[in-house]
């Protein structure tokens, strides 16, 4: 029998570790509107203080203060909720958070939702009502993890694609222990195939291990196969690190991973997210011609240069201008 899946814990840590990458992957308009040359500030304690009564444990949420890119020099708030189970009150809760945050901070707020449940028809994206001639309405972007093509997720270098794959495969194998072990091994091998560095592989494996929990006998077999694979690749990253336990050990391991890999791992993760965002811009604006420029973009390794290139590509009008701009940053 498979252990119960914990979706909230991994997403909470993913929002902490990969906030820019999550915006780039799911909400490109928000990502493009933020000035990433300035640091962003998580406001977790402030979010807890305005939480509506009865909301604890119903969703994973994150509040972050960011600076806009449009020249207004304004700090605004981004509120993200990850909801892994259908909830008839979800849209109203999004509104209540939005209203309370606006009342507390008097700043503009972007409310964003990630729906991780497996009910295809459940897609809340607005809260509104009308009384006589008075109308109140909040519309918020809501992405559905079920909508993402698995092949596209598998090919993505954005680290949050790994979390989405693990989430989806945990749902698909909830009654299939052997299938879950196979999925866990496939996702682990993928970390090496996508070209991640050591720290990023260790960090992302923690999410895979957390979401795709196995019975003890299959866990031991999976660990044995991972060790064999790493020996064949001559990259003993995961098996040379301290094996991550559940409960207390997992939280401690994540904290250690953040400390060890903050410089190298976060830089690699940010670059991976920017590659995906740049690919989206080039494909959307210039079609196959833009797609053909991606190999040149991948020759740029520095995250700061990639961020500057992203900003410039939003302003060019022709494929030739895009090509010349990329050449400037190489």
- The two tokens of residue 255 are 């904290």
Q: Rounded CA gap, 12 and 211, in Å?
A: 12
Per-residue confidence (pLDDT) for residue 329, from 0 to 100? 84
Q: Angle CA(291)–CA(293)–CA(296) in degrees, nearest 5? A: 140
Measured distance CA(89)–CA(82) in Å, rounded: 14
DSSP 319: H
What is the enclosing helix (H) or strand (E) of 126?
Answer: strand 126-131
Instruction: List, in sequence order, every residue forming a beta bridge with 126; answer none if it has no partner.
Output: 139
Task: Tell me how crowded residue 10 is: count the other CB atoms within 10 A of its CB.
Answer: 24
Q: Which residue has the higher pLDDT, 5 or 91?
A: 91
User: pLDDT band at residue 314, thresholds of 50, 70 and 90?
Assistant: low
pLDDT value of residue 260: 45
Nearest to 2 by CA among 169, 229, 187: 169
What's the CA gap between 248 and 269, in Å, rounded?
25
Write phi, then psi, for 4 (nearest 5 degrees).
-65, 140
Nearest in space to 140 (alpha carbons), one of 203, 97, 192 = 97
DSSP state of 71: S
Q: Is the pLDDT of residue 186 over 90?
A: yes
Cβ neighbours of residue 2 under 8 Å, at least 6 residues apart?
173, 174, 175, 177, 180, 213, 214, 215
Domains and CATH numbers, the chain: 28-140 (3.30.300), 147-329 (no CATH)
| Whole-angstrom distance, CA of residue 210 vs CA of residue 6 | 7
**At residue 325, does pLDDT exceed 80?**
yes
In whole angstroms, give the CA distance from residue 314 to residue 228. 45
Contact in structure between 15 and 60 (CB atoms under 8 Å): yes
Rg (CA), the chain: 21
- Residue 245 — pLDDT band, cuts 50, 70, 90? very low
The span from the CA of 10 to the CA of 167, in Å, is: 9
> Which pLDDT value is given to residue 39?
87
Residue 242's pLDDT band, with cuts at 50, 70 and 90, is very low
Contact 106, 74 (CB under 8 A): no
Task: Decide: residue 213, CB within 10 A, 0-12 exposed, 13-18 middle, 19+ buried.
Answer: middle
| Per-residue tokens: 75 | 């700090």
- β-sheet with 75-83: strand ranges across: 41-42, 60-67, 75-83, 109-115, 142-144
Q: What mean pLDDT do residues 58-73 have?
A: 84
Rounded Cα distance, 184 and 141, in Å? 31
Percentage above 90 pLDDT, the chain: 45
* Cβ pair 293, 281 in contact under 8 A: no
pLDDT tens, position by position, 135-172: 999 999 999 999 999 888 888 888 899 999 999 999 99
The tokens 């093509």 sit on which residue? 149
Confidence of residue 269 (pLDDT cuts 50, 70, 90): low
Q: CA-based diameter of the chain, in Å?
A: 71
**Range with lowest mean pLDDT among 56-65, 75-84, 120-129:** 56-65
Going by the DSSP 8-state scheme, the letter that residue 34 receives in this structure is B
Confidence at residue 5, expressed as pLDDT on a 0 to 100 scale: 78
Task: Look at the block and give the residue holding tokens 């494996």.
Answer: 205
Q: Compare 84 and 310 and report the one with higher pLDDT.
A: 84
């Amino acid at each position: 029998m498979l252990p119960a899946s914990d979706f909230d814990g991994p997403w909470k840590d993913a929002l902490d570790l990969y906030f820019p990458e999550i915006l780039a992957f799911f909400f490109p308009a928000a990502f493009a509107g933020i000035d990433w040359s300035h640091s962003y500030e998580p406001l977790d304690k402030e979010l807890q203080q305005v939480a509506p009564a009865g909301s604890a444990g119903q969703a994973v949420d994150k509040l972050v203060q960011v600076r806009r890119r449009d020249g207004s020099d304004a700090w605004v708030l981004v509120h993200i909720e990850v909801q892994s189970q259908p909830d008839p009150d979800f849209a109203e809760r999004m509104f209540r958070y939005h209203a309370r945050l606006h009342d507390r901070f008097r700043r503009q707020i972007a409310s964003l939702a990630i729906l991780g449940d497996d009910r295809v028809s459940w897609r809340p994206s607005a809260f509104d009502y009308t009384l006589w001639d008075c109308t109140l309405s909040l519309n918020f972007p809501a992405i559905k993890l079920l909508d993402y093509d698995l092949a596209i997720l598998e090919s993505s270098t954005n680290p949050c694609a790994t979390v989405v794959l693990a989430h989806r495969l945990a749902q698909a194998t909830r009654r299939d222990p052997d299938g879950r072990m196979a999925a866990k091994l496939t996702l682990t091998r993928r970390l090496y195939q996508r070209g991640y560095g050591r720290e990023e592989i260790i960090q992302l494996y923690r999410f895979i291990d957390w979401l795709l929990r196995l019975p003890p006998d299959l866990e031991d077999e999976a660990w044995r196969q991972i060790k064999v694979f790493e020996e064949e690749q001559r990259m003993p990253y995961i098996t040379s690190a301290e094996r991550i336990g559940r409960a207390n050990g997992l939280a401690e391991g994540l904290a250690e991973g953040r400390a060890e890999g903050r410089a190298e791992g976060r830089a690699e993760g940010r670059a991976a997210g920017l590659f995906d965002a740049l690919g989206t811009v080039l494909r959307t604006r210039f079609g196959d011609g833009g797609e053909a420029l991606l190999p040149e973009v991948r020759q740029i390794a520095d995250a700061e240069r990639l961020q500057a290139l992203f900003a410039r590509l939003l302003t060019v009008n022709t494929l030739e201008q895009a090509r010349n701009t990329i050449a400037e940053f190489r």
